[in-house]
Chains A and B, each alone.
Chain A
Amino acid sequence: MNLFSEQIEHESAAGRAEATGMLDMLRCARCGRDLVAEVVLAGDAACPYCGSLFRQPAYRRIEAIVDSGSFIEIEREAEPGDPLSFPGYRTKLEKEQEKSKMQEGVVIGKATIKGLRTALAVMDSYFMMGSMGTVVGEKIVILAEFALHNRLPLVIFCASGGARMQEGVLSLMQMSRTTIALARHSAAGLLHINVLTHPTTGGVTASFAMQGDITLAEPGALIGFAGPRVIEQTVRDKLPEGFQTAEYLYAHGLIDRIVDRRDLRETLASLLALHNIERAAVPEKEGRG
């Protein structure tokens, strides 16, 4: 029912390390080892001991997915305002911007993946848990329009705690706006692939994250509409084992495939090739079928 950004465990661990002046540390949720955040996140953001995954920062993700040097970012400087004058929001934004060296929680642009051109959006859950405010919504809209105008397919890496509370109903309206921009892209016969990463919840799940032609997910990613704590409070009971993981959604027929982080580039390239735009633009011959 509530589309809020939810803090998840290992971020607070990193926060504590920062406060004590030590290196930023991450604790692996599976094997319990403490890892140096910088080292882990500069690689594929997986635990070197047990392979379990951490959230991957947006620019690192782009590096890993697209052809080297092919990414051209658009709207890099777009910066969120404080449209409701919400108490504490401006300070929070400044802190997040300083910490992440980003203006907002999503990076958009164009690139090639194994030589195939695509528009690309990557949400960054290290920026206010990837919550969607007016600028995040606007950047998705701009990218969808850019992709439509240039007849490009669209790949979106989703990661979000949901709509951003501090921008109130204006955040909610981004669900409508992104929906419309993507419907227009889709109506032109263009491909939209979503990759759901940890966590994808709330207003993003209830809009563009679930509107792609193909939906991929990373193993173990939390994917849902409501956050698990909200559901637990509603049903007043323990949630089933593995509830709202990518594997759970796959078993329930809600997503197409779970793809290991190291295989995503390959999978995306083969899907882009299958839906090759030049071929899609060829008009159907009369009397076929």
Chain B
Amino acid sequence: MIRKDSDAQPAWERVMNARKEDRPQARDYIEKLFHGVFEVRGDQCMGDDEAIVTAVAWFETYPVTVIGQQKGHTLEERMRCNFGMPSPEGYRKSMRALRQAEKFNRPVICLVDTPGAFCGVEAEAKGQGRVIAEHLRAMATVKTPCISIIIGEGGSGGALALSLADRLIMLENSYFSVISPEGAASILFKDSSLASEAAKNLKLTAGDLKRFGIVDGIIREPQGYSRFHMDESAEAVKKAIRGALKRLSHIPPDRLVEQRQQKYLNMRWY
């Protein structure tokens, strides 16, 4: 018997926080953390998906590639970004950025924030599944350092595509899950109002993922964290990226890829 209890609140609260409209998004971080930003547009095949932002920029003294998922703050922006649900064009654009990052030895910094990859007729017709599979393989094999930060929603395969990295960091109020708590509640508990209970059972918080050894670090957030008050945490994100870059950029590319692959192959939980 599934019951609602107060214990279920924290995980669900994190999910609600991760979805807040004024929570800092990829473009906010790009503005705060990087300079000399040149945005790379389009997949050079079908179009430009604004749910994924790719850019070349300076992070302090490093030229880097940034790949971020953008949900949008205003209704107009949200619609342009398809509410942060990327289409195959977006993942193709991102793979283009990965190829160039490898060519120019630029570290890759991914900012993950999506309720999930888009579930539409066109997305399926253009091979949404295949493009995510290819993106995963690209991140599994790219010969340059990859740092992923889950800044908000880590919604299933659409988020996972950008999360296979040398270092995975989560913000305190982000989540990473195989399915939305609402989805799990309605399918497994036959009652979507049990989402908070499902959120708890899915073990989707940064703390849970740290315990599983999937996440390398958690960045604390101050009370009332929003894009209007993000300086403190932006500094913490900067510090985390700086630390990871320092360590990763000295590892020869082949060894880096081997270490990344072994990290995942060694994850066993049964």
Contacts and interface: CB of A to CB of B under 8 A. Distances in A.
B130 A177 contact: no
Interface string B204-221: 100011001010000000
Contacts of B203: 84, 168-169
Contacts of A59: none
A168 B129 contact: no
Contact of B119 (A187, A208, A225): A225
B136 to A, nearest CB: 4
Interface in A29-68: none
B157 A84 contact: no
A3 B156 CA distance: 7
B177 A203 contact: no
A265 to B, nearest CB: 26
Given A138-B270, A173-B264, A165 B164 contact: no
B133 A206 contact: yes
B33 interface: no
Contact of A175 (B141, B160, B180, B204): B160
A163 B178 contact: yes
Interface in A168-210: 168-173, 175-177, 179-184, 187, 201-203, 205-210
B214 A169 contact: yes
Nearest to A249: B127
Contacts of A206: 117, 128-129, 132-133, 136, 157, 161
B180 A2 contact: yes
Given A87-B2, A203-B157, A170 B133 contact: no
Interface residues of B, number: 56
Contact of B176 (A84, A169, A224, A248): A169
A274 interface: no
Contacts of B117: 1, 206, 225
B201 interface: yes
Nearest to B267: A173
Contacts, number: 184
Nearest to A231: B119
Interface in B250-270: 261, 264-265, 267-270
A4 B179 contact: yes
A170 B129 contact: no
Given A170-B269, A240-B121, A244-B124, A179 B187 contact: no
With most chain A CB atoms within 10 A of its CB, the pick from B133, B155, B214 is B133
With most chain B CB atoms within 10 A of its CB, the pick from A138, A206, A244 is A206
A74 interface: no
B218 to A, nearest CB: 15
A1 B209 contact: no
B146 to A, nearest CB: 12
A184 B116 CA distance: 27
Nearest to B215: A169
A226 to B, nearest CB: 4
A83 interface: yes
Contacts of A97: none
B125 interface: yes
A87 B176 CA distance: 19
A183 B261 CA distance: 10
A127 to B, nearest CB: 16
Contacts of B180: 1-2
Given A205-B130, A226-B119, 5 more contacts: A170-B212, A176-B136, A182-B137, A231-B120, A239-B121
Closest 5 CB pairs of A and B: A1-B116, A205-B129, A226-B119, A225-B129, A210-B133
22 contacts: A1-B115, A1-B118, A1-B155, A2-B156, A2-B180, A3-B178, A81-B269, A83-B270, A134-B269, A135-B270, A169-B176, A169-B203, A170-B212, A176-B140, A181-B265, A183-B140, A207-B136, A210-B134, A211-B137, A234-B118, A243-B124, A252-B125
